[in-house]
Amino acid sequence: MSSIPSSTTPLAASAAPTQQGSPGQGAEHEEPQAPPLLDLSEWLRDSPAWLMSAALHMLVLLIFGLWLVASSREDALNLDAAFSEEVGEQLIEDNLDLSTSPELAEDFQTLTPDTLPEVETPLATPDLAIESPVADQMTTDIASQTVGVALTGREPGMKRALLAAFGGDATTQNAVLEGLRWLQRQQRTVDKLWSLRGPYRDGAGTENIEAATAMALLAFQGDGHTHVGPADDPFTKNVADGWKALLKRQDRQTGSFFRGDGFNHRFYTHAQCTIALCELYGMTQDQELAGPAQRAVNYLIETQSPGGGWRYDVGDTGDLSVTGWCVMALKSAEIAGISVPPETFARISKFLDSVEYDGGAQYAYQQNGTPRISMTAEGLLCRQYLGWSKDDERLQRGADVLMKSLPTWNTGHRNAYYWYYGAQVCHHLEGAHWQRWNYAMKKVVPAHQEKAGREKGSWDVVIDQVHGPGGGRLYTTCLSIYMMEVYYRHLPLYRQHLLAGP
């Protein structure tokens, strides 16, 4: 075998000296070139076959190893973001995870169905000095919904998509999170229920632990938390304990949840408990909830007044405030797969006809009353759930009325009860109505949430200035949380068929 050429080969001789003389007479030459340090071509030609094979296999193994290392590496991009309405005003303090009466006075006048004071707001203590509402007195298709579809927006993946699609963001979701944390701190340690009176500041003037508990549970469930949630969900235990305690308070014979003293609380309380129970059943299909949910629904069906509505007691002529909550309870039942007789909804539609104005674009509290913005929002939402189409001219005109009373912090215009219903109506309509409503709501509601101190995460009762302290801090906080959950709490009514499947 030939030896490898030596690297000590002498350099070529230096170039010839430059010729002096006329132009063109000088001799051309090449620059001297150094020999290669190693002649691989000759080495490869003369190497044995086994050495070539080993080198080739080593090269292949090296490339494969480098590829494995590169493909198994994950570079996570971690972003810390803060959101605010104005530069320098940070609204988010923690890391955000989007994946998460007094008794009635003894000398109070005797009340009859004809002299019952008007109480538009659930759980509020009525002004007993007001005159009877009688003094200022006033057929659609039933919407079909696929079981469970309306509640699927609460699932983590769908929630993120809906937040992005409908204008929710870290500010609104952080408001929900802080609100739920406040509710978590208010759950009573002994019986696991909630109270309208406290121990927080600005408690209600009347107690109703069933209604308070139902409203708190609705807030947790609206964000996707249930009694069978994952172990790492910070609110699973609160929901599980709350429901274990609340179900014990349902009358097993009648199905009613009402046990309080407030004469005006019966159907507010029962409707709220029924909404929460049917939603939980719809979200989890836990068969242990089927019996209690059916009994609760049956109680509403059996106590509907001949005129189609509900009010303070069995047999009372209906008012729209109470009836609206009962409608939502019955529709929640349908969503969960619990049957409701069509004639029940048909009677509700006739009741709505009796309190409508402007051809159905506006609504009054009772028959022969005057239209109110809060009742208009509640009436329109009932119409949506009872089958009015998105482009119904009456619904569109009613939504235009809501646009004249967008959420604002102006004195005398803060009305959380109205905002709660208006947000839902506009969210279902989508388009320009929703965009205008959401823009106004997002500026008002998160900005006035308590940011520090013992009541951090709650909303002061002044957010419902129209109705005063009414149900107290827990009531206004729950309504505010519902508003901030509106992006995903219920899927928009007029899109649900797209997700229902064949």
Give the pLDDT of residue 471.
82
Give the pLDDT of residue 163.
96
Given a cut of 70, whether residue 326 has pLDDT beyond it is yes
Give the pLDDT of residue 61.
63
Residue indicated by tokens 């949506």: 384
* Nearest residue to 251 (alpha-carbon basis) of 273, 223, 280: 273
| Domain-located, residue 1 | no
| Domain-located, residue 226 | yes
Between residues 101 and 239, the one the model is more confident about: 239
| Domain-located, residue 374 | yes
Give the Cα separation of 332 and 336 in Å (integer): 6
Q: Binning pLDDT at 50, 70 and 90, where does residue 470 land?
A: confident
Q: Count CB neighbours of 398 within 10 A.
A: 26
Query: pLDDT tens, 17-36?
Result: 344 443 334 434 444 444 44
Between residues 234 and 260, the one the model is more confident about: 234
Query: What pTM did the predictor assign?
Result: 0.74
| Domain-located, residue 65 | no
| Domain-located, residue 235 | yes
CATH code for position 170: 1.50.10.20
Give the Cα separation of 216 and 475 in Å (integer): 9
Query: pLDDT tens, 414-447?
Result: 999 999 999 999 999 999 999 999 999 999 999 9
Give the pLDDT of residue 148.
67
User: CA distances (Å), 73 to each of 62, 70, 76, 137, 473, in order?
Assistant: 17, 6, 10, 73, 50
Q: Binning pLDDT at 50, 70 and 90, where does residue 122 land?
A: low
Lowest-confidence region among 19-33, 196-210, 252-266, 465-479 = 19-33
Domain that holds residue 369: 139-499
Query: pLDDT tens, 338-351?
Result: 999 999 999 999 99
**H or E, element range at 356:** strand 356-357
| Domain-located, residue 415 | yes
Lowest-confidence region among 251-260, 359-368, 381-390, 448-457 = 251-260
| Domain-located, residue 44 | no
Domain count, the chain: 1
